[in-house]
Amino acid sequence: MRRSFTPGPAPKHRNDLYVIKSLLPYIWQFKYRVTAALACLVAAKVANVILPVFLKDVVDSLSVPATLLALPVAALVGYGFARLATSVFGELRDALFARVTQGAIRRIATRLFNHLFALSLRFHMGRQTGGLSRDIERGTKGIGFLLNFTVFNILPTLLEIGMVAAVLLWRYDLRFAVVTLGTIASYVMFTLLVTERRMVYRRSMNELDSQANGKAIDALLNYETVKYFGNQDYEVERYDRNLEKWVNSAVKNQISLNLLNMGQGVIITLGISALLWLSASGVVEGSMSVGDVVLVSAYLTQLYAPLNFLGFVYREIKHALADMERMFRLMDQHEEVADRPGARTLGARRAQIEFDQVDFGYTPQRQILFGVSFTIPEGGTVAVVGASGAGKSTLSRLLFRFYDVDGGAIRINGQDIRDLTQESLRRHIGIVPQDTVLFNDTIRYNIAYGNPQASQDEIERAAQAARIHDFIMALPEGYQTQVGERGLKLSGGEKQRVAIARTILKNPPILVFDEATSALDTRTERDIQDELERIARDRSTLIIAHRLSTIVNADEIIVLGKGRVLERGTHQALLQRDGRYARMWRMQQAGRQTG
């Protein structure tokens, strides 16, 4: 039973521990930097906690009668040194951890990009490009946020809270430490409970944001179709409806955030007031000095800002975990087509291709091919014809191993292609597809994609063979001409000739022409057809054709119907049989004469 490979919505009950465990290996690759950064973090916080102690000594030294005044040099030097150490160690920590954060993001993003190419065509045919792009973007940003705020805010704040509580317990009675820890505990519990409730709004916002972005990019990619049918208002309205839902979730998210902030403010205010009351009472009773009040006030000031910020950081970390979850779920997507352990590398200058009783269906409920068998000998040409939906293009996808067959086998030189590495298999096959999509780059780049190491002379020879060199040279920028997104600045015929040049440059032993001249005019088609026959010489060639005039010289013609081989033979033999192929031929010849 095949699995569905379309990314679904994030689960309502997330496993944050799973996300963190997935991230840790990428962090620990920089273990020496992490260790050094943590050491600087501890040193900076120790210095920061010592600061108020020196300040207390300064105040106490100056809170005596004028006749007894003396400059508290040691306390002043200690205060200055502690403040300098706090700053220096903090900056060193940031500098050391910068490469950890950016390096982890780079390695995760690169691995994810590679993994997406490893996923099957089934996954990519079901994905939404806009939503997928937004998930990856938010996930990588979430990594940086999680690492920076965890190391630079959460850990330092918790460390400082622990040290401040220890100092208060050491220097004063138990009430100071109890009030401090009680305030912190109440603050953390309140933040935890409310933030967990708020996460449902954030998840909803993420889902709606991805949907709106996916629909927008889909509409823009199909700009011409939208204009053809006059559906601009429809697309804008559909986009606006998604944004309206997103706004509703965003408003609820903001209101819940305001309520959270108010509750946190109340807890912090009560804690500060209680500590000031205790310290002021101690001065009145004579058990504490003015310096002690300064010490407690300084600690309160130091803790208030990070504690108040801790709530924001905690919320954002939860958001970052939610964003990262979808990205890591992409990494966990199953590779439907994977190299077998010990897969062999294909290395051949000539190839015999055998389809042996091949069964295949994109879903168990929709079988496409039924026991298809034929052989393309070394240097031979086999053409496959048939009505739309007969399974012709499926043959090329199976040969490239975008899918694995359900039954039977496909062999090259007697080797089952499932026993070969995918990289070596695809290196041996060149294709000119019916629907040519180009990269948003130059014509040179798109031709050179067949062999990125090719020289300019080799690229131009391939373009000449594809009958497009003269057209390119007539352009103001020549081979540096930008083709636009998906090649939209070129006509269908021009794109197809670029695709032919790209395949010629690849120079593989196996060729697949999938309606390779469908977008060309009759005169250009004849020229290109002669060139294709020339480059196909001594190569094993599979031609998927609609125009029967382009395959009359094929060594064998296979007629497919509803996924089964109905007829096979040479052009002349099939005409003499007067079956389905002959009827198709007469219909096309009649159409050409009428045209």
pLDDT tens readout for residues 549-592: 888 888 999 999 888 999 999 999 999 998 899 998 988 887 65
Helix then strand count (H, E) for the chain reads: 19, 10
Identify the weakest region by mean pLDDT among 11-20, 108-117, 424-433: 11-20
Are 230 and 318 members of one domain?
A: yes
Region 527-546: mean pLDDT is 81
**CATH code for position 486:** 3.40.50.300
Last residue of a domain, one of 446, 476, 506: 506
User: pLDDT tier at 26 (50, 70, 90 boundaries)?
Assistant: confident
Are 233 and 269 members of one domain?
A: yes
**Among 145, 156, 164, CA closest to 50:** 164
In a domain, 414, yes or no: yes
Identify the weakest region by mean pLDDT among 312-326, 496-510, 555-569: 312-326
Instruction: Please count the structural domains in the chain.
Output: 3
**Among 411, 433, 430, 429, CA closest to 420:** 411
Give the position of tokens 């179709």: 225
In a domain, 170, yes or no: yes
Tell me what percent of the residues of the chain surpass a pLDDT of 90. 19
Torsion of CA 49, 50, 54, 57, to 10 degrees: 80
Query: CA–CA separation, 502 vs 510, rounded Å?
Result: 14
- Report the mean per-residue pLDDT for the chain: 81
Q: Report in angstroms the alpha-carbon separations of 114 from 93, 335, 398.
A: 32, 12, 21
Q: What pLDDT, on a 0 to 100 scale, did the predictor assign at position 6? A: 40
Are 306 and 445 members of one domain?
A: no
Query: CA–CA separation, 530 vs 549, rounded Å?
Result: 12
Query: CA–CA separation, 135 vs 577, rounded Å?
Result: 57
In a domain, 337, yes or no: no
Are 404 and 444 members of one domain?
A: no
Last residue of a domain, one of 506, 539, 556: 506
Last residue of a domain, one of 462, 487, 506: 506
Q: Report in angstroms the alpha-carbon separations of 486 from 335, 435, 441, 475.
A: 27, 11, 9, 19
Q: Report in angstroms the alpha-carbon separations of 495 from 439, 465, 498.
A: 11, 15, 5
In a domain, 2, yes or no: no
**Among 217, 10, 1, 6, CA closest to 122:** 6
Q: What pLDDT, on a 0 to 100 scale, did the predictor assign at position 360? A: 93
Q: What pLDDT, on a 0 to 100 scale, did the predictor assign at position 11? A: 45
Instruction: Please answer whether residues 251 and 169 qualify as being in contact, where contact means their C-beta atoms are separated by less than 8 angstroms.
Output: no
Region 295-315: mean pLDDT is 70
Q: Structure tokens of 266?
A: 């109340």
Q: What pLDDT, on a 0 to 100 scale, did the predictor assign at position 591? A: 63
Query: CA–CA separation, 50 vs 75, rounded Å?
Result: 11
Query: CA–CA separation, 569 vs 63, rounded Å?
Result: 110
Domain that includes residue 484, residue range: 437-506
Query: CA–CA separation, 533 vs 554, rounded Å?
Result: 10
Are 408 and 458 members of one domain?
A: no
**Phi then psi for 489, rounded to 5 degrees?**
-80, -10
Query: CA–CA separation, 426 vs 424, rounded Å?
Result: 6
pLDDT in tens, 156-189: 877 877 887 788 777 777 888 788 788 878 887 8
Q: Structure tokens of 463?
A: 């373009």
Query: CA–CA separation, 217 vs 262, rounded Å?
Result: 39
Are 477 and 552 members of one domain?
A: no
> In this model, does residue 437 exceed pLDDT 60?
yes
In a domain, 117, yes or no: yes
Are 319 and 356 members of one domain?
A: no
Q: What is the DSSP string of 501-522?
A: HHHHHH--SEEEEESTTTTS-H
**CATH code for position 161:** 1.20.1560.10
In a domain, 339, yes or no: no
Are 55 and 97 members of one domain?
A: yes
Query: CA–CA separation, 334 vs 79, rounded Å?
Result: 58
pLDDT in tens, 517-534: 665 666 666 766 777 777
Q: Structure tokens of 288?
A: 């504490």
In a domain, 50, yes or no: yes
Are 168 and 248 members of one domain?
A: yes
Are 311 and 386 members of one domain?
A: no
Are 40 and 80 members of one domain?
A: yes
In a domain, 143, yes or no: yes
Pairing verdict, β 540-544 and 381-386: parallel
Are 177 and 78 members of one domain?
A: yes
Alpha carbon 373 to chain centroid distance?
39
Strands (E), 153-298: none
Identify the weakest region by mean pLDDT among 180-194, 361-375, 392-406: 180-194
